[in-house]
Amino acid sequence: HLVVDNHVDEQTFQDCVEKAARILRAEELVAFPTETVYGLGANGLSTRAVQKIFKAKGRPNDNPLILHIGSMAQLYPLIRGSLSFHAEKLIEHFWPGPLTLIFPASARVPSVVTGGLETVAVRMPAHRLAREIISKAGLPIAAPSANRSGKPSPTRVEHVKEDLDGRVAAIMDGGSTGYGLESTVVDVSGGEDSPRILRPGGITEEEMEETLGLSMSVERRDGTRGNVRAPGMKYRHYSPDTNVELVDGSYVVMQARIGEAKMEGKRVAAAITSDRVDKISADEILVLGDETDLQAISSHLYDHLRAVDKMDVDVLFVQTFTETGIGKAIMNRLYKAANR
Ligand code: TXA
Ligand code: MG
């Protein structure tokens, strides 16, 4: 596969971008880094190309995909009607970046992308390699996370290779992604209605409410209110094979739970922040990072969830975080990992 890290010279970088764009135009799959997680890209206007994504990932067909664009000019052909006031503000402030917006879809968007919905998800990524590939291809690129369905999303090229090597035409190596959790998904398809958060992510509710000057509604965790708005929510997601249990409270509670599990003869891993390292003993310790740096914790979370499956443990206890700011996205993914 193609290797593009941050250290290659400009000519090599451009050659790789050109190759990736050519593969995409030929309706084959390319995995590439974004600022959130690695994506598995295909020509988003081609049913044939997009079907290959579902096949490579083992993804259910009714789970719709995000179209990635490199410029605003690429947005208008994909959506129906004009931009709402809220959509315009969110775009102004947060694109390019880890924010996906749901719009009414134009007739040009294939139903294999929307999962048969009337709406389409669009995002303009901020990662340079992603932007250049999309622009060079001159196509909206459909891209879910580049993992096998049900695995944690890939934040390092090793994760992509683990899941998809031999199943895709090219894997672009861009090193570690930044945010480490998938984009925030916000539904702005309701015109001037208040936008709804369907999936928390790197752009926080607080930041968006500040920008919009209003309070936003948030989809319930189980996604069961009324009809299913974000179809992805109904699938088991982000789950390691190891049994994950979330533990609220102080290190004392965590150590007690570990003690009980040990009494039952289990091998135990604990995922904790650095301040607890001296206070907790378990068979395996995963250090999530500094408790005051939620950004760093989110950027390494999936790497830890993947690592635990390679340890021979029966259970992983994970400490919980306050659900404000990026803590909301972290807890959303942890709930899913724990199947709660
Ligand atoms: O950060 C990200 O968003 C990454 C990178 C690669 O861009 N992509 C990603 O894609 O996480 P995926 O397919 O793993 O998640 C897309 C989410 C799913 O929960 C899906 O159900 C939801 O967006 N979605 C897509 N189209 C939708 C629509 N029309 N209405 C509601 N939800 C939609
Ligand atoms: Mg995914």
Q: For 81-108, write each residue's pLDDT tens digit.
A: 999 999 999 999 999 999 999 999 999 9
Whether residue 144 contacts residue 150, with contact meaning beta carbons closer than 8 Å, is answered with no
Decide: 183 in ligand 1 pocket, CB within 6 A: yes
Decide: 197 in ligand 1 pocket, CB within 6 A: no
Taking CA atoms only, the protein residue closest to ligand 1 atom 13 is: 144
Decide: 189 in ligand 1 pocket, CB within 6 A: no
Ligand 1: nearest atom to the Cα of 40: 6
What pLDDT does residue 226 have? 40
Cα–Cα distance for residue pair 59/226, rounded to 1 Å: 24
What pLDDT does residue 224 have? 43
Residue type for position 318? V
pTM value is 0.94
Whether residue 201 contacts residue 185, with contact meaning beta carbons closer than 8 Å, is answered with yes
Cα–Cα distance list, 91 to 49, 84, 208 (Å): 28, 11, 11
Bond preceding residue 125 cis, omega within 30 of 0: no
Across the beta sheet with 30-32, what order do the strands follow?
170-171, 30-32, 39-43, 141-142, 66-68, 119-123, 99-104, 184-187, 196-199, 217-218
Cα–Cα distance for residue pair 188/242, rounded to 1 Å: 37
Decide: 145 in ligand 1 pocket, CB within 6 A: yes
Interval 237-295: pLDDT, tens:
667 788 999 999 999 999 999 999 999 999 999 999 999 999 999 999 999 999 999 99
Interval 6-46: pLDDT, tens:
668 889 899 999 999 999 999 999 999 999 999 999 999 99
Task: Give the contacts of 239 (CB within 8 A, at least 6 positions apart).
Answer: 150, 152, 336, 337, 339
Decide: 152 in ligand 1 pocket, CB within 6 A: no
Ligand 1: nearest atom to the Cα of 183: 1
Q: Tokens in use for 215? A: 């309070």
Name the average pLDDT for the chain: 92
Give the residue, 55 or 220, on which the prediction is more confident: 55
**Ligand 2 is an ion; residues with CB less than 5 A from it:** 145
What single string gives the DSSP state of each residue in 140-180? -EE--BSS-TTSPPPSSHHHHHHHHTTTSSEE-B--S-SS-
3-state DSSP assignment of residue 291:
coil
Decide: 37 in ligand 1 pocket, CB within 6 A: yes
Interval 217-245: pLDDT, tens:
887 655 444 444 555 555 556 677 889 99
Domains along the sequence of the chain with CATH: 10-234 (3.90.870.10), 243-337 (3.40.50.11030)
Decide: 184 in ligand 1 pocket, CB within 6 A: no
Ligand 1 center to 66 CA (angstroms) = 5
- Candidate from 36, 100, 151 with most ligand 1 atoms within 8 A of CB, to mutate: 100
- Kindly identify the ligand whose nearest atom is closest to the C-alpha of 148: 2
pLDDT at 154 over 50: yes
What pLDDT does residue 268 have? 98
